[in-house]
Amino acid sequence: MEGNGTADKFVYDFAEGNKDLKDLLGGKGANLAEMTNLGLPVPAGFTITTVACQRYLASGEHVDGLDEEITSHLTKLEESMGKRLGDPADPLLVSVRSGAKFSMPGMMETVLNVGLNDESVAGLSAQAGGNDRFAWDSYRRLIQMFGKTVCDVPGDEFEQALHNAKTVKGVRDDTDLDAGDLKQLVSAFKEVFAKHTGHDFPQDPREQMDRAVAAVFRSWNADRAVLYRRQERIPADLGTAVNVVAMVFGNLGADSGTGVAFTRDPATGEQGVYGDYLANAQGEDVVAGIRNTVPLQDLEGMDSKSYEELLGIMATLEGHYRDLCDIEFTIERGKLWMLQTRVGKRTAAAAFTIAAQLIDEDVIDLDEALRRVTGAQLAQLMFPRFDLEGDPEVVTKGVGASPGAAYGEVVFTAARAVELAAEGKDVILVRRETNPDDLPGMIAAQGILTSRGGKTSHAAVVARGMGKTCVCGADQLEVSPSSFVVGKYTVNEGDVISIDGTTGKVYLGEVPVRPSEVVQYFEGDLDPALANEPLVAAVHQLMTHADERRRLAVRTNADTGPDAARARRFGAQGVGLCRTEHMFLGDRRELVERLILAEGAEQRQAALNALQPLQRKDFLELFREMNGLPVTVRLIDPPLHEFLPSLEDLAVHVAVAKERGESAKRSEKMLAAVRRMHESNPMLGMRGVRLGLVVPGLFAMQVRAIAEAAVALAKEGGKPRPEIMVPLVGAVQELETVRVEAEKIIAEVVGDSGVEILIGTMIEVPRAALTAGQIAEAAEFFSFGTNDLTQMGWGFSRDDVEGAFFWRYLELGIFGISPFESIDREGVGRLVRIASEEGRATRPDLKLGVCGEHGGDPESVHFFHEVGLDYVSCSPFRVPVARLEAARAVVSVARG
């Protein structure tokens, strides 16, 4: 646990905490405490800790001593404010807000105006100088939020009642309803509440507060919160803190309001004044996007004093946190109050740009800059963008809230987005505004388009956090359940649109895409005019430092010269996996069929002789592209029958031929071969080293082709560095047998050419990991095949289980993430650690790498650094990501 919090203390006043107590006080509570300590205008309040939440959820509601602590701190709050909670004559009202360690925007609950009831609404009006409209507006908000949050009353029914009130009045905006209208609306809301709960809205202020606190605790396990944590890889056992804060009101009139500000543009990183403001409103109106906001700059003309004070506080907070800050504030009759700050979520482009800016401003050093960006963000920057040369038709423009280029079929509900995405279709989720219940659809969609809200709305904040393209506030859109209309255009569900999250433009149809500038930079194909663009310059600066700091080398998985060449441009330092079986596909499949169908040694050798020059040509091309760098060639791994047509197709073909009286001798021969080689579980059958030991000459042909290609490159003046990798070894005797034959061939071919060829093995069978000390006696390197090691370690058939039950395992929290995506540290990772330690105990200079898909996964790269591997290998596109994460692994450890 961070800081010096005491686990047995459940409640902290803001003056008792600080920003380092996020584990205990949550991000919101810790930062409210920090702003209080900085002397900024923060309403009084206290925080109920995450420990209290954990115990509440574990105990089924009762936590010994919690009620007494809350009472004690509430009493202090009442004394400091000179008011009592819900006092009919002069009520203290509070907000009850969630606040976990990690920001989870909109995923958990908030209840405002707690303490209001039928009597205290008059006292609130008196506090506001007889402003009855404000008092009744505050009361209807409490009933609506309390009903939906605490009692699960359908929010749509409150919205319908509000819509009916505006329809009767003949107005469009909430602000056009007067005190009498709102008083009637309170009565309507109470009827909705009673219909769904079976009892009246509670009038006891303390009961309201206690039930709101409990609802916030329970919201930690709400479906949307669980889904968001899974998406963002947030641990499920942290719990949320609860912040009880004295209310300040932005809905008192034109001299009041609420807003959200960023100290830099969260989309681009540019410095300036960014944010949204809404006069005569409470904070939830801004986040929910219920009314369209005005730019923060407009506040200067409305209330210059508060605007200048806000700019000063923004500068203070960015200087204090040394990062972009996201700030929520309220102005109550000209008085500015700070309600929240946090290190702001930002787009991938902004993350890199801001990190570079802060380096230039001497705020952070290069190592800290690496900690501020991630491989996932770099991957986002490598996605393509729209190619607008065809002048696509723009139907409308909104606010570019989260950059990217996305296209797909229009859908209008989260459920429909999930349904079509499961069918493999790209979709764009279109809503008036999103709410937390839309999260599954937002995850499923390629992009999100809303007609309301701005850069700080729910849709914008969540989309930026997920790296999803998002356009908000396209207020020309008239959205209905199955279509939207904008000007002369009507777009129905199923029609295709394209949205640009940078410019905010919406296009009809599918707009073609072009490579990103970042990919062009890595390819060395960037227009010189763009070389000094802030984003490209930032990527160059941080990647240069990353290469200086990382210990792990980064290789690529490549089977062809062009793939190897591209990976080398992306920074690959060799090939960690060349899959030779991929060289047997296409036109060469017939030669493999000849090998499989060979009758006797002579026919088999003839087939191998035909394959050898083709293999040699392939290897020479690969060695040339990686001249001077290591190239690990894996000998053939999959079962041979995979190169033949399927059993079902052959059986049908033979049956049809017989029915027609046609000859099908070759097909019959292949069918017999397929049946002969059929295995119940081919992944555990005749493949890898077993294939090489059983099929005479197969591995020998490949070893000879590798050696001959290396010698040919050496004769050209090149520097080949081939490494021969034997797959699926489970016992040292298997490797020793292959090695004896391989060394004879290598010695014969290499002669005095000076070419050196290493021989090693993949560690992908659990037994190999557990006997690595023995296997290292015959291996000069290990490369961990973590795909198969995961399959065999878990007993999973990957092709079957991911669709069959992984969804349920993820839902139940058995997995935080699929073990095929990120290394299972405790199980498969332990096998890697054991093999590394025992292998090097036998052979201290043993080279260690990984060539499974985990080699490009950011979290896994950190683990491989910790274990002491020498390199990771991944697909060409992931090479820059692995380079960055390898450096971040170093600086994360350095910070300690």
Instruction: Tell how far CA 342 is from the center of its chain.
Output: 19
CA distance 113 to 92: 9
Burial category of 267 from C-beta neighbours within 10 Å (exposed 0-12, middle 13-18, buried 19 and up): buried
Q: Which 3 state secondary structure label does DSSP give 225?
A: helix
Judge whether 316 and 40 are in contact, CB under 8 Å: yes
Asked whether 674 and 653 are in contact (CB, 8 A), the reply is no
Cα 592 from Cα 611, distance rounded (Å): 8
428 φ, ψ (degrees, to nearest 5)? -115, 120
Q: Are 506 and 399 in contact (CB under 8 A)?
A: no
Beta-strand runs (E) in 767-857: 781-784, 847-850
Task: Give CA–CA dist 357/5, Å, rounded.
Answer: 34
Whether the Cβ atoms of residue 476 and residue 430 lie closer than 8 Å to each other: no
Give Cα 535 to chain centroid, integer Å. Answer: 21
CA distances from 293 to 265, 430, 473 (A): 17, 19, 9
Q: In whole angstroms, what is the distance from residue 263 CA to residue 348 CA?
A: 17
Q: Do 450 and 293 contact (CB within 8 A), yes or no?
A: no
637: tokens are: 């791994």
Report how far residue 312's alpha carbon sits from residue 41's, in angstroms, rounded to the nearest whole number: 12
Residues whose CB falls within 8 Å of the CB of residue 742, separated by 6 or more in sequence, listed in order: 699, 700, 703, 724, 759
Distance CA(796)–CA(199), nearest Å, equals: 51
Write out the catalytic residue numbers. Answer: 458, 851
Question: Hey, what are 465's tokens?
Answer: 């956090």
Please name the helix (run of DSSP H) or strand (run of DSSP E) that holds residue 215, with its range, or none.
helix 205-219
325, 342 Cβ separation under 8 angstroms:
yes
* 229 closest CA partner among 314, 133, 107: 107
CA 374 – CA 306 distance, rounded (Å): 36
Q: What is the DSSP string of 373-421?
A: --HHHHHHHTS-EE--TT-PPEEEE-EEEE--EEEEEEESSHHHHHHHH
Of 691, 698, 652, 694, nearest to 671 by C-alpha is 652
Answer whether 691's CB lies under 8 Å from 677's CB.
no
Tell how far CA 651 is from the center of its chain. 45
